[in-house]
Amino acid sequence: RWIKSEAVIAERAKDGTALRMLGIQTDITESYKLEQMKRDFVATVSHELRTPLTSVNGALALMQAQQQGKKPDGSARLIEIGIKNCDRLLSLVNDILDMEKINTGNMRHDTQPEDVADILRLATEQLETYASQWNVNVEVNAPAFAQCIRTDKKRVMQVLTNLLSNACKFAYSGTT
């Protein structure tokens, strides 16, 4: 059984020692089991999605490599879009796993000096196809001189792509 216990001191002696406490104990066995089932489900689904996505991504990368040196056509652009979207889905699966790590207190951050302009450029490149679906243009006004920040680039990219995708989704068609 899993029990949650809460208590307060109802009366203290003059020296501060607790004389009387009031408390309540709640059986949380069922909610604990449900939470464990949710964590197991998320982990299983995430891992089961990652494997085929990695395979699809690898196949697309192989097709892209075979296209090298050939006259560009529409299929090359579609392969590139497929790879980017596969990468994005893999990133989402990894995000789900990261959320579980955060919940369990096992999250690690990899901070490095990063150029702000590079991060902004990369975020807009990743969102290019999504923005075009909404008929929106994403433009970067990067700083005129290099500005480095110490950050976890992957985490900043997650925030920026989420922010920019929402901006694209709710922007007026034909705007920047």
Question: What Rg do the C-alpha atoms of the chain give, in angstroms?
Answer: 25
Residue 113: the pLDDT is 94
pLDDT value for 56? 85
Q: Is the pLDDT of residue 175 over 90?
A: yes
136 band by pLDDT with thresholds 50, 70 and 90: very high
| Model confidence, pTM | 0.50
Residue 73, pLDDT > 80, answer no
pLDDT(168) > 80: yes
Query: What share of the chain in percent tops pLDDT 90?
Result: 30
**pLDDT > 70: percent of the chain:** 99
Q: Report the pLDDT value the prediction gives residue 24, as an integer from 0 to 100.
A: 94
> Does the pLDDT at position 71 exceed 80?
no
pLDDT at 29: 92
Q: Note the pLDDT of residue 95.
A: 78
Split at pLDDT 50, 70, 90, the class of 110 is: confident
Model confidence at 3: pLDDT above 90? yes
Q: Does residue 127 carry a pLDDT above 80?
A: yes
